[in-house]
């Protein structure tokens, strides 16, 4: 069965347009509620959201769906995605839900689901939920006396903040000055508070959400302001989160950025020295730079590559026995603490390294030189440009030219009508030419569709 609603990270789309409508949210709540209604205990679901205006539409629709299936709903309001996963697990909920479109602009929204262990759902479970959505659940609606209830949880932010602070070994950031960009998103309260309570001097930006400004010229996808503030305030480090705070990009004291690959390299080396790294390796996606792979090999560690998406990273970590994994984009999964990417916890690991060594991040932060890499996106309106004969020919030619010196990756986005074309290798000009040739063929095919 081809998936109709779920992409690489839940259900996502333009708010108030199919599939991100109140009607779909209601049916999703009912179908997911039925899927996870197991046993005769009182069932509960935790629902969090980011700061988008459309959250006010989607949250009550989901709530109604779950209540109609006999599940109690615990509403936690604006909270990071990893906080919802943590609360789902710690409160013994049957299901967790995060309403967010992550790094996308406010016009979009999404629904991410977590199982009782706080992990994102497998493809098989998502297919089963979609089948229930398509076939209807009228026959499964509970009797009036068995309807669920909804309530607001007292101080969910406090629960999460104490959990996060406990992940920092020495529980102290005294003497460090930190810029934190919360993207006007879900972490706008908790992230600055955690850093301050741990002893840091905090310069917060992106902490005034209005329903429309999430990720706008701020956060992990727009880091210029964060970098400028780091330099202007002579900060030791800058942390930029995305709208739901499950990914992070970090800047050193000079305003130079470190992506997820560099962060994984730093944490892997530290954890290996401390005897904390498990599985003799790291799990990353097909998008991670070859430079990371070479660096880890020099440490005697393997890089296990999986499909794009932090849930596939988590699955790979379980398969290979690793406690560190992530994506170049900044999803860093530290399974000693979390079941999904957590930008704030990952940032604390790097801050802890700076605090303990007494060295600047510019000295220790760039642990490898990336292999030249080029990534371009091609947007299309309809059809399937990847099936076009001219596109297939261009891809074959690019692969032949790269041969043993690099690699080519073509990946349709799971969240928007975009095809991502990435190549990397030792010859930068050849890498660029390979990508440009495929992109040109795709654009011609997309224009002709």
Tell me which residues are annotated as active site.
102
113, 95 contact by CB (below 8 A): yes
Bridge partners (DSSP) of residue 418 are: 379
Residue 7: strand, helix, or coil: strand
Q: Is 81 in contact with 244 (CB distance < 8 Å)? A: yes
Q: Report whether 317 contacts 335 (CB < 8 A).
A: yes
Of 23, 32, 21, 112, the C-alpha closest to 70 is 32
Q: Give the helix/strand (H/E) hosting 400.
A: helix 389-402
Strand partners, 11: 6, 111
User: How far apart, in Å, are the Cα atoms of 299 and each of 107, 280, 302, 350?
Assistant: 44, 10, 9, 19
Neighbours of 208 (CB within 10 A): 11
- Look at phi and psi of residue 366 and say left if phi exceeds 0, alpha if psi is from -120 to 50, else beta: beta
Helix locations, 189-289, DSSP H: 190-197, 224-232, 260-273
CB of 106 within 8 A of CB of 216? yes
Distance, C-alpha 407 to centroid of its chain: 25
Give the span between the Cα atoms of 43 and 95, in whole angstroms: 9
């Amino acid at each position: 069965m081809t998936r109709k609603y779920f992409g690489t990270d839940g259900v996502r789309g333009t708010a108030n347009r199919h599939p991100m409508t109140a009607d779909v949210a209601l049916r999703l709540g009912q179908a997911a509620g039925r899927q996870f209604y197991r046993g005769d205990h009182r069932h509960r679901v935790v629902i969090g959201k980011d700061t988008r205006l459309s959250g006010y539409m989607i949250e009550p629709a989901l709530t109604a769906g779950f209540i109609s299936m006999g599940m109690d709903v615990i509403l936690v309001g604006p909270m990071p995605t990893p906080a919802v996963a943590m609360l789902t697990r710690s409160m013994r909920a049957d299901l967790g839900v995060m309403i967010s479109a992550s790094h996308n602009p406010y016009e979009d929204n999404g629904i991410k689901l977590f199982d009782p262990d706080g992990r994102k759902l497998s493809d098989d479970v998502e297919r089963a939920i979609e089948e229930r959505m398509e076939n209807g659940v009228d026959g499964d609606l509970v009797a009036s006396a068995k309807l669920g209830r909804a309530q607001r949880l007292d101080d969910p932010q406090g629960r999460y903040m104490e959990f996060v602070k406990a992940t920092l070994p020495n529980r102290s950031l005294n003497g460090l000055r930190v810029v934190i960009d919360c993207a006007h998103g879900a972490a706008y309260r908790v992230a600055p508070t955690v850093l301050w309570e741990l002893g840091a001097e905090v310069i917060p930006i992106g902490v005034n959400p209005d329903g429309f400004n999430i990720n706008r010229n701020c956060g992990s996808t727009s880091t210029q302001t964060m970098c400028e503030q780091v330099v202007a305030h002579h900060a030791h480090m800058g942390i930029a989160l995305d709208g739901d705070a499950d990914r992070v990009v970090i800047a050193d004291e000079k305003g130079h950025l470190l992506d997820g690959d560099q962060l994984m390299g730093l944490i892997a080396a530290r954890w290996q020295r401390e005897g904390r790294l498990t599985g003799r390796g790291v799990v990353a996606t097909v998008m991670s730079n070859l430079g990371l792979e070479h660096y880890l090999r020099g440490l005697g560690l393997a890089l296990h590559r999986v499909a794009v998406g932090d849930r596939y990273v988590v699955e790979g970590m379980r398969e290979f026995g690793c406690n560190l994994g992530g994506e170049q984009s900044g999803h860093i999964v530290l399974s000693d603490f979390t079941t999904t990417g957590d930008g704030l916890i990952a940032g604390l690991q790097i801050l802890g390294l700076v605090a303990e060594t007494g060295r600047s991040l510019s000295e220790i932060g760039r642990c490898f030189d990336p292999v030249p890499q080029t990534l371009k996106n091609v947007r299309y309106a309809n059809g399937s440009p990847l099936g076009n004969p001219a596109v297939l020919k261009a891809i074959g030619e690019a692969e032949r030219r790269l041969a043993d010196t690099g690699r080519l990756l073509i990946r349709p986005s799971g969240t928007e009508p975009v095809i991502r074309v990435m190549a990397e290798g030792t010859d930068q000009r050849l890498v660029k030419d390979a990508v440009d040739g495929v992109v040109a063929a795709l654009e011609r095919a997309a224009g002709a569709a």
